[in-house]
Amino acid sequence: MTLPFILIVIIGSLLFLPFLGSVHLFDWDEINFAESAREMIVTGNYSAVQINFEPFWEKPPLFFWFQVLSMKLFGVNEFAARFPDAICGIITLCFIYYIGKRQYKGNLAAWWVLCYLGSILPHFYFKSGIIDPIFNLFIFAAIYQFYLAAKQDIVVVSVMRYFFLAGIFTGLAILTKGPVALIICLLTLFIFVAVKRFTWFFRFKHLLVYGLIALFITSFWFVPETIKNGPWFLVEFVKYQAGLFTSNIAGHQQPFWYHTAVLLVGCFPISFIALAAIKKNNYYSYQENLFRTLMIVLFFVVLILFSIVKTKIVHYSSMCWLPLTFLAAYAIASVQKKRLKFSAVLSTCILVFGIILSTVLIAIPVIFSNKKLKDLALANIKDRFTVANFSINTGWTGFEAIPGILLLAVVCTGFYFLIRKQHSKGFYILLTGITLIIPLIAIMVVPKIEKHTQGTAISFFESLKGKNCYIFHTGYKSYAPYFYAQIKPLTANDSLFHKRAQFLNQLGVKKFTDLSQERYRDYDDFEKDWLLNGNIDKPAYFIAKSHDQEGLEKQTGLIMLWEKGGFTAYKRMP
C-alpha cells in the first residue's frame, strides 16, 4: 500500500507546485484571504481576522493560519498563499485513494484519483489560494465517518468513535469557513437515513457527542474571541452567513440552475462519465453500494442547497466534486467489469463538448494575437470595461493555442476508443491527457487572462509598495490595493488615524466594531471625502474603473496619472 501513496505524492507535487506563484492572486477571494493572513503577520495578532486592518467578519481564521505558516516559510507572495491548497490537494488525492482501496475491490481507487486530476475545476482549485479545498476535505472526512458507522451493526459494535471523529472534522470545517459545514453534514446524515428506509445506525447519544465535539473544537477560537472582543464578530458573522442564504451578496445573484451548469462545464469530462453511475450494479457488495448511495445523497444535498441559496459563486458547489469524481470512477470501474454500459450518447456528449471547449481555447489566442481579429471581436462586446480590459497588449503570440489543440486531439482519440467499446483505453487517454493539459493552460493561458482583467491595476499597486501614502479605490470592490501595495496600519502620526477617531466619535461610538451595518458605508464615504477634499498629510492615490469614476474626473486638485486597461489612476498631493 505504501508505493501508491508515494506515487500520488510525487505526481501531486509535480502537478500542483511548479509555477504556483507565476501569476498574481485573483480578486476577490484569493487576495482577500492572503491579505488577512498578511495582516496577521504585520500586526502579530493571530486571533483576529482583519482586512485593511479593520475587523473582518466573513470568515473564521483556520485557513488564514495555514497561510500564515506558509508565508513564514516562503515569504508574503503568491506561492505562499496557494501552497496550503496544493498540500491539501496531495492529501485529498491520498485520502480518496485510501477510501477507494479500503472500501472497494478492483482498481476503483486509482480511477478516482485520475478522475479528480482529469477534471478541470477540481484540478485547478488545488493550484489556487481559496478556502474551499481545505473546507471540503474536512467535511468529506466527517461524511466518511458516517459511512463507517453505517457499515457497523450498532448492536455489536460501538459507533461512538466514528461520531467523535466526525465531530472533530466538522468542527475544523466550521473554523475554516463557517456553520454551513454543520448544515451539509446533518442534512446528508438524515437524508441518508431516509434513503435507507429509516434504518437508524446511530442513537441520540451519538448525535449529541457529535454536536458537542464540533462545538468544543469551534470554541477554541470563538470563545476566546468573544471574551476578548465581545460578541461583535459572532453576531456579524451569523448575520453575514444568513445574508448569503437569503439575499444576493455583492452582485453574485444567478439563476437556480447556475451550479448545475458550473458542474457540467467545470467538471468536464467526469460530469458526463458520472451519469453512467446512476444505475448501481451487483458487482459491488451491499456495503460498497452503500457508499455510492451516500455519495449521491451528498452530491444532491450540496447541489440543491446552494441552488436555493440566493448568493451563488462557482466554488459554493465545489463540495459536489468529491462525490462526482467518485461516481465517475464507479462508472468506469463498472464499465470495465461489463456491469454497466457506457452509451454512445454519453460518448458523443463528451466529444461535442470537448470540441466546443477546445475551439474556445484555440480561438482566444488566435484572436488576441491578430489585431484585426481582436478589433472585430471587441467590436461585438457591449461591456465597456471588458472591451478596455482586452484592448491592452499582453503579448499573445498564438502559441497559447497549443493546450486547445492538444485537448482536441485527446478528446477525439478518447472518443474513438470509447465508441469502439475499448472503454478502459478511451477513459485513460481522456483523463490522463486532460490531467497534463491543465498545467499547460495554467502556464500559457491564465497569466495572459490575468493581465487583461486586473494586471494594470495590480501593477499600479505594486508600484506604491513601500511608499508613505494613502490608497483608495472607488466604484468597485477590491482587496488588491491592500495586498499588492503592502499597506501598513495607520498610526498616531497619520492624520487619517485621528480623522477616523473623530468620525466615530461623531457617530457616538468608540471603535469600528460598535458600528451598525448601515453605518459601514458612511464610514467608507467619509474616508473618501476626506482624502479628496480634506487637509491630507501625505500623497493620496486613487483608482477607479474608467467608465464609472464616481466623479473623480471632475474633482479639482487631482492629477490624472494614466488611463489604460479599463482603469484610471489619480494622485492628490498635500
Write the DSSP string, 3-45. HHHHHHHHHHHHHHSTTTTSSPPPTTHHHHHHHHHHHHHHH--
Q: How far apart are CA 173 and CA 134, in angstroms?
A: 8
Q: What is the pLDDT of residue 520?
A: 75
Backbone angles phi, psi at 467, to 5 degrees: -85, 145
- Per-residue confidence in pLDDT tens, the chain, 574 aa: 689 999 999 999 999 999 999 999 998 899 999 999 999 999 999 988 999 988 888 889 999 999 999 999 999 999 999 999 999 999 999 999 999 999 998 899 999 999 999 999 999 999 999 999 999 999 999 999 999 999 887 656 788 999 999 999 999 999 999 899 999 999 999 999 999 887 888 888 999 999 999 999 999 998 888 888 777 777 777 777 776 666 666 555 677 788 899 999 999 999 999 999 888 777 788 888 899 999 999 999 999 998 888 777 888 899 999 999 999 999 999 999 888 889 999 999 999 999 999 999 999 999 999 989 998 999 888 888 989 999 898 889 999 999 999 999 999 999 999 999 999 999 999 999 999 999 999 999 999 999 999 999 999 999 999 999 999 998 888 999 999 999 999 999 999 988 888 888 887 777 776 676 667 777 888 889 999 999 999 999 999 998 888 888 888 889 999 999 999 999 999 8
Q: How far apart are CA 26 and CA 15, in angstroms?
A: 20
Sign of CA dihedral 451, 454, 456, 459: negative
What are the grid coordinates assigned to 509, written together?
A: 461610538
The answer to whether 287 and 153 have CB atoms below 8 angstroms apart is: no
Q: For the chain, first and last CA: distance in Å?
A: 68
Which residues touch 201 (CB under 8 Å, ≥6 apart)? 149, 150, 152, 154, 159, 193
Q: Which amino acid is at 266?
A: G
Instruction: Kindly write down the DSSP assignment for every residue of 55-81, as one continuous string.
Output: E--SS-SHHHHHHHHHHHHH-SSHHHH
Q: How far apart are CA 174 and CA 463, in angstroms?
A: 38
Q: How far apart are CA 364 and CA 359, in angstroms?
A: 9
Q: Are strands 470-474 and 559-564 parallel, antiparallel or unpaired?
A: unpaired
Instruction: Tell me what percent of the chain is helix, strand and coil, each rounded to the nearest 5.
Output: 65, 5, 30
Q: What is the pLDDT of residue 154?
A: 67
DSSP conformation class of 314: G
Give Cα separations from 283 to 298, 343, 424 (angstroms). 23, 19, 17
Bridge partners (DSSP) listed for residue 545: 548, 567
The answer to whether 264 and 322 have CB atoms below 8 angstroms apart is: no
Backbone angles phi, psi at 312, to 5 degrees: -125, 120
Whether residue 269 is preceded by a cis peptide bond, meaning omega within 30 degrees of 0, is yes
Q: How far apart are CA 163 and CA 167, in angstroms?
A: 6
Q: Which amino acid is at 499?
A: K
Q: How far apart are CA 74 and CA 20, in angstroms?
A: 12
The answer to whether 69 and 97 have CB atoms below 8 angstroms apart is: no
The answer to whether 221 and 60 have CB atoms below 8 angstroms apart is: yes
Radius of gyration of the chain (CA): 26
What are the grid coordinates assigned to 185, written together?
A: 453534514
The answer to whether 394 and 400 have CB atoms below 8 angstroms apart is: no
Whether residue 396 is preceded by a cis peptide bond, meaning omega within 30 degrees of 0, is no
Bridge partners (DSSP) listed for residue 564: 567
The answer to whether 214 and 171 have CB atoms below 8 angstroms apart is: yes
Q: What are the residue boundaries of the structural domains of the chain, listed by start?
A: 2-341, 347-453, 464-572
Sign of CA dihedral 523, 528, 534, 538: positive
Q: How far apart are CA 27 and CA 113, in angstroms?
A: 30
Helix/strand/coil (H, E, C) string of 220-255? HHHHHHHHHHCCHHHHHHHHHHHHHHHCCCCCCECC
Bridge partners (DSSP) listed for residue 289: none
Please name which of 354, 455, 362 lies closest in space to residue 400, comparing C-alpha atoms: 362
Give Cα separations from 260 to 251, 271, 273, 436 (angstroms). 19, 10, 15, 26
Q: Could you tell me the strand order of the sheet in which 567-572 lies? A: 470-474, 540-545, 567-572, 559-564
Q: How far apart are CA 492 and CA 461, in angstroms?
A: 24
Q: How far apart are CA 321 and CA 317, in angstroms?
A: 8
Bridge partners (DSSP) listed for residue 253: 311
What are the grid coordinates assigned to 399, written together?
A: 502559441
Sign of CA dihedral 35, 36, 37, 42: positive
Burial of 179 (0-12, 13-18, 19+ CB in 10 A): middle
Q: Could you tell me if residue 298 is left (phi over 0), alpha (psi between -120 and 50 degrees) or otherwise beta?
A: alpha
What's the pTM?
0.92
Q: What is the pLDDT of residue 156?
A: 60
